[in-house]
C-alpha cells in the first residue's frame, strides 16, 4: 500500500510538473526499498503518460511537455547509481531522425518525448542525418520501428531513398517505417512505401503502440 502511495505520488508530481516533489518522492521510494525499474515504470512513466495526454488535449503545451522531459532526465540521473545490473523493461525500440538537408527537430523531439513516456527505447540520430546513417542504425540496433521526419517538401523525397536502401540489404521487412512532418501526406507515404505517415505526434505514438502490441 505504502509502495503504491509513493509511486502514485511520484506519478502525480511528474504530471503536476513539480520537480521538488518529484525528487522527494524518488528519494522516499528508494529509501523504502522500491526497485528503480518499478520507480521508472510505475511512477515516472505513468506521470509522463498523463503529461502526454494533457498535451494531446491542449491542457498542456510544448513548454510543459519539454519540462516534463527534462524532469524525467533529472530523475533518471538520480536513479542511475541505483540501477546497477537491473534491467528496465521497454516496450520496443525506435530509431528516429530528421532526414538529410533538414535540421528541424522540434517535431521529432515531441515524438521522442511521447515515445519515451510510453516506455519505448529511442535511439535519436539527430537532424540532417545522411541516408546511410539511417540504414546503418537499423542494421546495428535492430529496432522494431524506424521514424523519419522532414519539415520541408524539398527534403522529404530522401525518405524514399532510405526505404530503397533498406530493401537492398533485406532489412525493409524487419522494421516498421513511420514518416512524419508538415508536408507529409498519405499519398506521399504510399508512393514511397512507408507503413504509416502522419503530421500528428500523438497519432504517431498510437500507431507505434499498436505495432508493438500495446
The Cβ of residue 48 has, within 10 Å, a number of other Cβ atoms equal to 26
Q: Under DSSP, is residue 141 helix (H, G, I), strand (E, B) or coil?
A: helix
Stretch that binds other proteins, among 1-9, 31-39, 85-93, 149-157 (CB under 8 A): 149-157
Rounded (10°) CA dihedral 52, 56, 58, 59 = -40
Q: Which of 62, 72, 63 is nearest to 40 (CA)?
A: 72
Q: Which of 88, 75, 102, 80 is nearest to 158 (CA)?
A: 102
Asked if residue 15 lies in contact with residue 47, where contact means CB atoms within 8 angstroms, the answer is yes
User: Does the protein bind other proteins through residue 59 (CB under 8 A)?
Assistant: no
- Residues 189-208 within binding reach of other proteins (CB under 8 A): 191-192, 199
CB of 120 to other proteins, least distance (A): 20
Quote the strand ranges of 28-175, DSSP E: 92-98, 120-124, 145-149
Which one of residues 30, 37, 123, 188 is an interface residue with other proteins (CB under 8 A)?
188
Give whichever of 153 and 169 is closer to other proteins, judged by the CB atom: 153
Beta bridge partners of 179: 148, 197
CB of 86 to other proteins, least distance (A): 29
User: Does the protein bind other proteins through residue 154 (CB under 8 A)?
Assistant: yes
User: Does the protein bind other proteins through residue 67 (CB under 8 A)?
Assistant: yes
User: Does the protein bind other proteins through residue 184 (CB under 8 A)?
Assistant: yes
CB of 175 to other proteins, least distance (A): 21
What does the DSSP 8-state code read for residue 99?
Answer: B
Cell of 102: 533538414
Stretch that binds other proteins, among 57-65, 85-93, 136-144, 165-173 (CB under 8 A): 57-65
Q: Which residue's C-alpha cell is 515515445?
A: 115
User: Does the protein bind other proteins through residue 58 (CB under 8 A)?
Assistant: yes
Contact positions vs other proteins (CB under 8 A): 17, 58, 61-64, 66-67, 70, 103-104, 106-107, 110, 128, 152-154, 156-157, 160, 182-185, 187-188, 191-192, 199
Amino acid at each position: 500500500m505504502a509502495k503504491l502511495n509513493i509511486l502514485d505520488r511520484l506519478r502525480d508530481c511528474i504530471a503536476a510538473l513539480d520537480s521538488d516533489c518529484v525528487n522527494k518522492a524518488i528519494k522516499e521510494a528508494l529509501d523504502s526499498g522500491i526497485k528503480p525499474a518499478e520507480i521508472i515504470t510505475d511512477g515516472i512513466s505513468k506521470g509522463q503518460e498523463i503529461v502526454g495526454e494533457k498535451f494531446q488535449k491542449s491542457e498542456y503545451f510544448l513548454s510543459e511537455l519539454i519540462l516534463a522531459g527534462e524532469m524525467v532526465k533529472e530523475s533518471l540521473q538520480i536513479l542511475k547509481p541505483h540501477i546497477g545490473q537491473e534491467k528496465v523493461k521497454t516496450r520496443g525500440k525506435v530509431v528516429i531522425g530528421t532526414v538529410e538537408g533538414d535540421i528541424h527537430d522540434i517535431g521529432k523531439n515531441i515524438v521522442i518525448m511521447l515515445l519515451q513516456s510510453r516506455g519505448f527505447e529511442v535511439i535519436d540520430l539527430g537532424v540532417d542525418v545522411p541516408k546511410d546513417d539511417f540504414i546503418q542504425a537499423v542494421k546495428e540496433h535492430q529496432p522494431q520501428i524506424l521514424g523519419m521526419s522532414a519539415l520541408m517538401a524539398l527534403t522529404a523525397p530522401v525518405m524514399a531513398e532510405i526505404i530503397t536502401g533498406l530493401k537492398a540489404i533485406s532489412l525493409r521487412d524487419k522494421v516498421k517505417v513511420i514518416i512524419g512532418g508538415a508536408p507529409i501526406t498519405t499519398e506521399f507515404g504510399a508512393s514511397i512505401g512507408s507503413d504509416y505517415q502522419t503530421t500528428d505526434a500523438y497519432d504517431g505514438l498510437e500507431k507505434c503502440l499498436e505495432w508493438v502490441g500495446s
